[in-house]
């Protein structure tokens, strides 16, 4: 996942759309899970659902510090 170094709660995950007309997905990292190299996250998505997310290459991170 692009930009996954030193993630922290409050950072935003953006998943890119795979098809024309589809919208991407955005969520806030609530909790860091897993070991270094095998990270996954508890995420609250824009529709207020929460899930455990295992990132892939289609996800990028907007760091909290970049949005302030």
Predicted local distance difference test score (pLDDT) of residue 17? 76
Each as own residue / partner, the long-range contacts of residues 13-22 (CB below 8 Å, 24 or more positions apart, any chain) are 13/41, 13/43, 13/53, 13/55, 13/59, 13/60, 13/61, 14/59, 14/60, 14/61, 14/62, 15/58, 15/59, 16/58, 16/59, 16/60, 18/58
54-65, pLDDT tens digit by residue? Answer: 988 888 888 765
**pLDDT(14) > 80:** yes
Predicted local distance difference test score (pLDDT) of residue 52? 96
25-50, pLDDT tens digit by residue? Answer: 899 999 999 887 788 999 999 999 99
């Amino acid at each position: 996942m692009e930009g996954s170094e030193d993630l922290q709660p409050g950072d935003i995950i953006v998943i890119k759309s795979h098809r024309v007309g589809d919208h991407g997905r955005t969520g806030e990292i609530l909790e860091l899970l897993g070991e270094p190299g095998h990270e996954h996250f508890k995420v609250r998505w824009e529709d207020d659902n929460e899930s455990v997310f295992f990132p892939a290459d289609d996800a990028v991170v907007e760091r909290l510090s970049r949005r302030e």
